[in-house]
Amino acid sequence: MSGSLPLAASIAGMERADLTALLERRWIANPAAVRDPLSLALELLRPDSVARALETLDRSGIRALLALTTESPADPDPEREDAGSSVLALGLAGLAPQPGDDVRSRPEPVPLDEVADQLRLLIDSADARERLERSVPVPSRIEPHDPSSAAWFGAAQTTTQRAAAALRTLALEPVKRNRRGGTSQTGVKTLAEALRTGHEQAERVVEMLRSAGLIHGVVSAAHGDRFAVSPAGIAWLGLPHAERWLALAEALAERISGPLATALRISEGALGAAVSEILPVEFPLLSESRLADARALADAAEDLGFTVDGALTPIASSLLDRDLDLASDPEEPLASIRAALPPIAPGVYVQPDLSVVVPGPLSPDDEAALFGVADIEQLGVASSLRITPSSLARALENGVGIADARALLERLSLTGIPQPLDFLLSDVESKHGSVIVFAGTSRTRVRVADPAVGDAMLVDRALLHLQLQRDPGAIAYVLLSRLRPEHVLAALVDARYAAIAGSDPDAAPAAPSEPVAMAPAPAAAGSEPGGEPAPATGSAARGAHPAVAELVDRVLAGAEQPGSGEWTRRIELAIREKRAIEITAAAGSEVRTFRLLPASLSGGRLRASDQTAGVERTLPVSAITGVEILD
C-alpha cells in the first residue's frame, strides 16, 4: 500500500517552521511538480529522495525506524514515541489518515512502505550492518592550537593565494564543467598547472570558490557550460587578505552541516576524527560518496587553516558558533584574523635568474599587477614567481606595456632591476608584434616582420609539427600552417618566439559584431551543482532559501484550498495511479456507494466512469463521506 496518504496527512498538519525544516533537509528531484501536500508526499517518496534521507539518520533514528516498521503500534514505549516524532519530522513516517482531516492531539506515526523497502536495502549492506553494530568511539580531549602559530596562518595565506591565482586564471579563460556540475578533468589539469599544485588540491580550491559564490557556471553558444569568475569573485580579489580568508572560511563553515555537524559536536571540535572515526559509525547508512565528500571537506579545512592537525582552531570554532548566535559581533573573528596574519610586505626580491621572491602578502593592487607579469613557481608564506618571455608576452596581450611592467618592478623590487631582467624587458619590447598569428581563409597565417626570423622558423626542429610553408603570393613575409591558430601560437611561444594573436594588418577593418551572451547556468531549486541538497545549517538560522520558501508557500496554499481534505487527497492519488475507488456519497438521508474509475477532479466536482453501470458520473466533493482505494 502506498504511503502517499499518511505522509500527505502528516505534511498537511505541519506548521510553517516544521515544513520549512523538512524541505531544507530533504531532496526533491522535481520542485516544479509540488503544489500541495499530496504532490509533495509523492516527491518525498521517490526512491532516491528516501535513500538520501535515510543516509542522514543517526543510530537512534535508524533503531526508531526499524521499531516503527516491526513493532505493533499499540506497544507503549516513550523512547520509541520520541524517536518516532523525529522520523515524522524528516518525512520518513506518516500519520494515520483521519476522516475530515481531524488530527489527534498526540498523533501516532505510521510506517511507510516505500521507506521500509529502502531501509531494508540499505541495512542489508554488509558495511552498513557492521557499522551499525559497532560502538561510537569516545572522543579524546584535545588542546586548542594557538591561532597565531605558523601552521595556522601559513596554510591560510597559501590557500588564499591559491584561490586568488585560480580566479585570475579563470578570468583569462573559464574552464569547462562536467555533467555533474564539477570541474572537468581538463579544467582541473589547467588549474593545477597554473597553481603549481596537485589535482585533488586544485579541485578543493575550485569547490571553495564555488561554495563562496566567487565563481559560477555560465553557458554560452560558443564555449558551452563553463566555470567563470562571478561579480562577487571580482570584488573578492580587491579585498585585503584577512577579509579574503574570512569569506572562504565562512563558506566552509556553512558546508559543515547535517551528519557532519553532529559528528563534529560529538568529537568536541576534532574535525579529522569526526570524519574518519565518528561519522561512519554514528551514521552507518551514509554512502561512500557522502563519506568521500566529508573527507574532502576535512582536507579543505586543513588546506585553509580552518583546522590544524584535524582540530578546529579557535577562530574556526568562533565562526561555527556565530552561525548559531545571531547576536554575536561579526567583527570579532575579523579582528583575530588580522592580528594573526603577517603585515603587508615592504617589497619583493628580484633575482638575476629572473625569479621573484615575495616574502609576504602584498596589497591587492600590487599582487594583481605582479602576478600579471610573472609566472607562479610556488605559493606560500613566501611565494616564488619567475619573469619569462611568455609571461611578459601575456602581459602585453592583456594591455600591460613593457614600460608599465618595468615601472612596477622598479617600485616593488628591494634589490633593483638586475641586468638580465633589463635585457629581457628591452628584448621583448623590441620584438613585440614582430610575429602575428591569425586565421586565414583556409589556413592559419603567420606574418613575420623580420625575414631572418621567418627563415629560422622554417628550419626550427621545435616547429616541424606545424608544417610551416612560405606563402609565395604574399607581398609581406607570411607563413602558412594547417593547424588551428591557437595551436600555432602556443607552439611559437613555447619555442621562444615573440608571437601574439592578432588579425591581418593588411585587411580592411571588420564591422563590429555583437558579443556572445553568457548566461548563468541553470540549477535545480534548493540544490547545488552536482545534485546535492543545499546545506541547511547556518542558512536556516538566517532564513529559508528562496527556493525552499517558495515551495513552503505553494504547499501551504494547496493545503488551505477548498476540497483539499483527506477524501480529495485519496481521489487525486487514485487518478495519478489510475486505480479504482469505492466512494460513499450522501444526498439528504440517502447514502449510496459507487465503484468508480476517477478521471478528473476540478471545481469541487469529481468526474469518473462507473464501469459497473457503464455510465459517466459527476459527484460534488462536498457530498462524499468516504473514499477507499481498491487494489
CB contact at 8 A, 142 and 268:
yes
Contact indicator for 28, 551 with CB cutoff of 8 Å: yes
- Spatial separation of the C-alpha atoms in residues 508 and 500, rounded to whole Å: 19
DSSP assignment of 219-286 equals EETTTEEEEEE-HHHHHHHTS-HHHHHHHHHHHHHHH--HHHHHHHHHTTSBHHHIIIIIHHHHSTT-
Q: Where are the domains of the chain?
A: 4-124+532-557, 150-340, 349-430, 435-497, 562-629
Q: Considering the domain 562-629 in this protein, what is its CATH number? A: 2.30.30.100
* Contacts of range 111-116, beta carbons closer than 8 Å, 24 or more positions apart: 111/3, 111/68, 111/69, 112/3, 112/6, 112/7, 112/45, 113/1, 113/2, 113/3, 114/2, 114/3, 114/45, 114/47, 114/50, 115/3, 115/45, 115/50, 115/54, 115/65, 115/69, 116/69
**Which pLDDT value is given to residue 537?**
37
Flag whether the pTM goes above 0.85.
no
Q: Is 135 exposed, middle or buried (0-12, 13-18, 19+ CB in 10 A)?
A: exposed
pLDDT the model gives residue 368: 92
Strand partners, 602: 605
d(CA 422, CA 432): 16
pLDDT for the residue 100: 47
Tens digit of pLDDT for each residue in 411-424? Answer: 999 999 999 999 99
Give which of 401, 366, 397, 360 is closest to 381, Cα–Cα. 360
- State the DSSP string of 146-188: PTTSHHHHHHHHHHHHHHHHHHHHHHHSPEEB-TTSSB-HHHH
pLDDT of residue 595: 86
Q: Per-residue b/e over 454-489, b at no fewer than 16 CB within 10 Å?
A: beebeebeebeebebebbeeeeebbbbbebebeebb
pLDDT for the residue numbered 104: 44
- pLDDT average per 10 residues of sequence, the chain (631 residues): 77 87 88 84 89 88 81 48 71 72 58 88 76 69 49 86 93 82 83 90 92 86 78 94 94 92 91 91 88 94 92 88 58 79 91 94 93 92 90 82 91 93 86 83 88 90 92 88 90 81 66 45 41 40 70 78 62 78 79 84 80 83 77 67
Instruction: Show the CA angle centred on residue 145, arms to residues 140 and 149, nearest 5°.
Output: 155
Alpha-carbon dihedral 445, 450, 452, 456, rounded to 10 degrees: -40
pLDDT (0 to 100) of residue 616: 87
Contact between residue 36 and residue 555 where contact means Cβ atoms under 8 Å apart:
yes
Cα 520 to Cα 503: distance, rounded to the nearest angstrom: 31
CA distances from 306 to 202, 303, 436 (A): 17, 8, 48
Going by C-alpha positions, the residue among 541, 92, 60 that lies closest to residue 266 is 60
What's the rounded Cα separation, in Å, for the pair 404 and 619? Answer: 83
